[in-house]
A and B are shown apart, each in its own frame.
Chain A
Amino acid sequence: MNIVVLIKQVPGNSDVKLDPKTGNLIREGIDAIINPDDLQALETAITLKETLGAKVTVLTMGPPQAIDALSEAIGMGADGAILLSDRAFAGADTWATSFTLGKAIQRIGKFDLILAGRQAIDGDTAQVGPQVAECLDLPQVTYVFDIETVENGYVRVKRRLEDGYERIQCSLPALLTIIGGPVKPRYPEVASLLSACHAKAPIQVWNAADIGVTTADVGMSGSFTQVVKTFAPKFERHGELLEGSAVEVVHNLIERLKQNKLI
C-alpha cells in the first residue's frame, strides 16, 4: 500500500500578534511545528505501515525552512518526503494550494490513500483536503478519527459528526482528513532525525517546473481569494478583579451576573 500524507508547517505558538503599525503578522521568535492534525495523520499513516505494511510518502508545500517538518516526519517513520518549494508558490489560497498539491501527487504517481489533517491551526480552513480530493477526482471522508480496516480495495473508517459518528466504507484510492483520536502522535527517534539531515536522506525538493505547472496557476497569482485587510480582534472585557473573602467575592460576582442578566 502506498500512502501519501499531506502536512503543513505552522507557527508553533498560535499566540501570534499583529504589528500595530503595519498590520502584518509578527512571526519572529515563533517556532515552527507540524500542524497538530497533520501530525495525527502522520501517526495514522505510520500505524498503518506497522500493521499492514505501507510505503509512506510525506508531502508539504512551504519555504525551505519547512524541511524540518519533513525531517520530523522521517524521524517518526515516513519512508520518503517531498518539499514543494518555489517563490512562485507563495501567497497561495486553498484553491491554488490544492491545485499545486494535486499536481505533485500526480507526479508521485502511485497511491492508495492520501491522508491529511482536518485543518491547520494557522488558517483553520479545513479546505485543502477536500479540494485536493476533487482535483484528483477521489472520494473523500473528512473528520476521520479511526481507520477500522483497509482491505479488498476499500477502507472502512469512523467519521465524527456533531452528535455521534458515522461508519463509512469508501473505495480506494481515497483521501481522508484526520482528526485527533485516542492515539497520541509519537515523538520522532533521534537516530532517524539525524539520518534525515544527511545528504542521502530520501527527501526531494520540487519546484514549479518539477511538477509541470505554470507560475500563473500557483501561488498568489493562481488564487481566487485575497486578504484585503487584517486587524486585531476587539476585546472589551471588564477586567475586574474581585477581592475579599470567599463570601464577599461571591456576593459581588452574583451582583454583576444579575446586572448583566446572566442569571
Chain B
Amino acid sequence: MIRSNPEELIRKNIARFVDNEIIPIAQELDNKGEFPRDIFKKLSKMGIFGIRYPRHRGGSGGNTTLFCIICEEISRGLLSVASIVAMQSLMGTNFLFHYGTGEMFEEFFLPAMRGEKIGCFCMTEPDAGSDLGAITTRATEVDDGYLINGMKTWVTDGPEASFYTVMCQTDPSKRLRGIGYFFIPRNLPGVSLSSRFQCLGTRTTPICEVAFKDVFIPKEYRLTPEGEGLNAFLKIIAEIRAMTAALALGLQRAAMADSIKYANERMASGKPIGKFQLVQSKIANMATNLEASKLMTYRATAMIDEGKEALKEATMAKYFATESACSASDECTRIFAGYGYSMEYTAQRYFRDARFLLNGGGTHEVLQCNIARWVGI
C-alpha cells in the first residue's frame, strides 16, 4: 500500500507555509513587533494548534513529534511566531484540555483551537523562576471557589490572551506539593496587566506581567486536583523542553542556511569566502551541532510519544540545541561580518532571537545542575 509518511508530509506542508507566508515578511514582522494576527489566523485554519490533541476532542490527531516538527519549521521562518504557536498548542491549553469541564471545553478550548481565543501560561514570578516551590501567588479556598492573589511575570502572549493557566500555591507549608493550576479568564475583576515588555528578541511575541488581586474563580476553575499539581507539571515539562529544543533547531537551520548562502556568494580576495577554511570550520560546526540537536530532540519526542519517561533526554536536547542555536547565530553574524551588524539582514535577528531560548523551559544553569544530578553528582 502506498501512503505518505505523516512526518514528512506535515513537515513539507508546514515548510511551504513558512516559505510562502512567513519568511517573505519575517523582517517586517520583527521590525513592527506586533502580534502576528494574520499568520495566527492562517495557522489556526490549518488546525495547527490542535496537533497534540486527539481528533475526537477537537484536536488534529498528531503527537509530540509532529508538534515539534511544526515548531521547528515555523521557527525556521520566525522564532517568535513559533513561540506563539507553542504557547497556544501546549502550555496555554494543555491543562484546560485535561482538567477543564465540558462547558470550559466548549467556551474556551475549542475557540482556542480555531484561533479565536488565545490561552497562555503563568508560572514565573518576580522572585521565583526555576525554583517552583518558592512561588507566592496564592489560591485561597473560599465558599464555592477560590480567591487568587499574586503577580506573574514573563507571561508569553499575556497581552493578547483571553485566559490564563496560572500556577498557584494552595498551602505554602507544602512547598512543591502545594502547587496547583487554576484557570483564570482575563475579563474577571481583579486581573490586571502591565505594559508590554521591551525585549531583545522574539519581538512579535508579546510578553508582560499579570497581576491578580482578590480574583474570585468558581471551584471548577481549579484545574488540577489537590496534590496533583506537581505531577501535572512533571508530565509536560519534558514536552516543553523538547519543544524548546525544536524551536532551537529551526533557528539553527535558518542561521546555517543563510550563512551558507552568504559564504558562497560573498567574494573576498577574488573568491567566495566559503573557500576559506576558517569559514568552512564555522559552517562545519553548525552542521554537526545541528545534526546532533536533531537526533537528541527527536529521540526525546519519540520517547514521549511512546509514553516513556524522557525528562533527562528532553532536558539535554533543550540544553544542547539552544546552546547550538546561540553559537550558530553568533557565527552567522560573524560570517556576515559588517552585514551581520546591520538591522537589514537576517543574521542580527537570529542572534537576538536565540537568547529567548536560553530561559524558556528552564535556565541552562539550572538544567546543568539537573543533568549533573541525574548522572550521579
Instruction: Show the binding face of A for B, using Cβ within 8 Å.
Output: 12, 31, 33, 64, 67-68, 71-72, 75, 83, 85, 186-191, 193-199, 201, 203, 205
Contacts and interface: CB of A to CB of B under 8 A. Distances in A.
- Where chain B touches its partner, the secondary structure class is helix
A210 to B, nearest CB: 13
A42 to B, nearest CB: 14
Interface string B127-147: 000000000000000000000
A194 B13 contact: no
A31 B12 contact: yes
Given A68-B12, A190-B60, A197 B51 contact: no
A189 B47 contact: yes
B55 interface: yes
Nearest to A66: B2
16 contacts: A12-B16, A31-B12, A68-B12, A187-B17, A188-B13, A188-B46, A189-B47, A190-B10, A190-B46, A190-B70, A193-B9, A193-B10, A194-B10, A195-B61, A201-B3, A205-B2
A119 to B, nearest CB: 20
A71 B47 CA distance: 16
Give the interface residue-count category, chain B: 20 to 34
Contact of A187 (B4, B13, B59): B13
B47 A67 contact: no
Given A33-B16, A187-B46, A199 B10 contact: no
A146 to B, nearest CB: 23
Contacts of A198: 3
B48 to A, nearest CB: 6
A187 B3 contact: no
B375 interface: no
A186 B41 CA distance: 13
B6 A194 contact: yes
Interface string B46-60: 111011000100011
Contact of B61 (A31, A64, A194): A194
Contacts of B6: 193-194, 197
9 nearest A-B pairs in the assembled complex, by CB-CB distance? A191-B60, A71-B4, A197-B6, A189-B47, A190-B60, A190-B47, A191-B47, A64-B2, A197-B4
Contacts of A196: 3-4, 9
B62 interface: yes
Given A187-B42, A191-B55, A197 B3 contact: yes
A190 B62 contact: yes
B98 interface: no
Nearest to B6: A197
Nearest to A184: B20
B5 interface: yes
Contacts of B8: 68
A191 B62 CA distance: 8
A260 B156 CA distance: 59
Contacts of B235: none
Given A71-B4, A197-B5, 16 more contacts: A64-B2, A67-B2, A68-B4, A72-B13, A75-B13, A188-B13, A190-B51, A190-B70, A191-B47, A191-B59, A194-B10, A194-B61, A194-B66, A196-B3, A196-B9, A203-B2
A189 B60 contact: yes
Given A201-B3, A203-B3, A71 B46 contact: no
A186 B60 contact: no
B9 A191 contact: no
A107 B46 CA distance: 33
B377 interface: no
B61 A199 contact: no
A83 B3 CA distance: 11
Residue from B16, B50, B55, B66 having most chain A Cβ neighbours under 10 A: B16
Contact of B9 (A33, A71, A199, A205): A71
A84 to B, nearest CB: 12
A195 B45 CA distance: 17
A39 to B, nearest CB: 10
Interface in B1-46: 1-6, 8-10, 12-13, 15-17, 42, 45-46
B50 A191 contact: yes
A204 to B, nearest CB: 10
Contacts of A194: 6, 10, 60-62, 66
B234 to A, nearest CB: 28
Contacts of A85: 2
Contacts of B60: 189-191, 194
Contact of A199 (B3, B16, B51): B3
B13 A199 contact: no
A64 B3 CA distance: 9
B24 to A, nearest CB: 14
Contacts of A72: 9, 13
B10 to A, nearest CB: 6
A67 B3 contact: yes
A180 B5 CA distance: 29
Contacts of B15: 31
A44 B286 CA distance: 44
B208 to A, nearest CB: 30
B137 to A, nearest CB: 35
